[in-house]
Amino acid sequence: MNIAVVGVCTSGKTTLVNSLKAMGYRAYHVAQEHSSVPRMWALRRPDFLDCSYETATARRAVPWGPKHMEEQRRRLEDARAHCDLYLRTDGMTPEAVLAAVVTAIEKAKGGDGNMPPVTLEAVKKVPEVETYINRGNDYTEHGPRHASLVANIAHNVLARLGFPQREAELAAIAGYLHDIGNIVSRWSHGQTGAVMAFTVLRELGMPPDEIATVVGAIGSHDPEESGYPVNNVSAALILGDKSDVHRTRVRNPDQAAFDIHDRVNYAVEHSFLRVDDGRKAITLELKIDTKISPVMDYFEIFLTRMVMCRRAASYLGCDFELSINEVRLL
Ligand SMILES: [Fe+2]
Ligand SMILES: [Fe+2]
What does the domain layout of the chain look like in residue ranges?
2-108, 120-328
Most confident range (mean pLDDT) of 33-37, 232-236, 297-301 is: 232-236
Amino acid symbol at 141: E
Output the DSSP codes for 255-312: GGG--HHHHHHHHEEEEEEEEETTTTEEEEEEEE-TTTS-HHHHHHHHHHHHHHHHHH
187 has a pLDDT exceeding 70: yes
Task: Identify the nearest ligand to the CA of 142 by its number.
Answer: 2
Rounded to the nearest whole angstrom, what is the distance from the C-alpha of residue 320 to the centroid of ligand 2?
Answer: 19
CATH of domain 120-328: 1.10.3210
How far is CA 7 from each of CA 3, 4, 90, 219, rounded to the nearest angstrom? 13, 10, 13, 39
Which residues, at least 6 apart from 245, have a Cβ–Cβ distance to it below 8 Å? 264, 265, 268, 271, 286, 302
Of 236, 153, 140, give the one whose Cα is nearest residue 189. Answer: 140
Q: Pick the ligand that lies closest to the CA of residue 220.
A: 1
Name which residue leads in pLDDT, 237 or 14. Answer: 237
Query: How far, in Å, from the CA of 280 to the mean position of ligand 1?
Result: 26
Average pLDDT of the chain to the nearest whole number: 85
Distance of CA 95 from the midpoint of ligand 2 (Å): 29
Residue-level pLDDT at 68: 79
Cα(284) to ligand 1 centroid in Å equals 18
Q: pLDDT tens-digit profile of 245-296?
A: 877 777 777 777 777 778 888 888 889 999 999 999 999 999 988 888 788 8
Checking DSSP bridges between strand 319-324 and strand 281-288, what pairing results, if any? parallel
- Which of 158 and 252 is assigned the larger pLDDT? 158
End-to-end CA distance of the chain: 55
Judge whether 227 and 248 are in contact, CB under 8 Å.
Answer: no
The CA 190 to ligand 2 mean position distance, Å, reads: 9
How does DSSP classify residue 187? T
Please provide residue 197's backbone torsions phi and psi, each rounded to the nearest 5 degrees.
Answer: -65, -35
Closest ligand, as measured to the CA of 245: 2
Q: Is the pLDDT of residue 193 over 90?
A: yes
Which contacts (CB < 8 Å, 24+ apart) does range 249-257 have? Answer: 249/140, 249/141, 249/146, 250/140, 250/141, 251/137, 251/138, 251/139, 251/140, 251/141, 252/139
CB 190 within 8 A of CB 218: yes
Per CATH, the number for 2-108 is 3.40.50.300
Can you give the pLDDT at residue 216?
97
Q: Is 291 exposed, middle or buried (0-12, 13-18, 19+ CB in 10 A)?
A: exposed
Ligand 1 centre distance from Cα of residue 157 (Å): 18
Find the ligand nearest to 140 CA.
2
As to burial, measured by CB atoms within 10 angstroms (0-12 exposed, 13-18 middle, 19+ buried), residue 259 is exposed
Tell how far the Cα of 242 is from the centroid of ligand 2, in angstroms. Answer: 7
pLDDT given at position 227: 76
| pLDDT at residue 41 in the model | 57
Closest CA to 95 of 214, 222, 179, 204: 204
Instruction: State the distance from the centre of ligand 2 to the C-alpha of 28, rounded, in angstroms.
Output: 36
Please check the confidence at residue 316 and state whether its pLDDT lies above 70: yes
Ligand 2 centroid from CA 220, angstroms: 12
Sorting pLDDT into bands at 50, 70 and 90, what band is 78? confident
Residue 43 has pLDDT above 60, yes or no: no
User: What backbone torsions phi and psi does residue 272 show, to the nearest 5 degrees?
Assistant: -150, 135
Count of Cβ atoms closer than 10 Å to residue 286 Cβ = 22
Helix (H) or strand (E) run with residue 6 in it: strand 2-7
Q: Is the pLDDT of residue 146 over 80?
A: yes
Q: In 83-207, which ranges are continuous DSSP H helix? A: 94-108, 120-124, 127-135, 144-160, 165-177, 189-203
The predicted pLDDT at position 105 comes to: 84
User: In whole angstroms, what is the distance from residue 29 CA to residue 147 CA?
Assistant: 33
How far apart are alpha carbons 49 and 268 in whole angstroms? 56
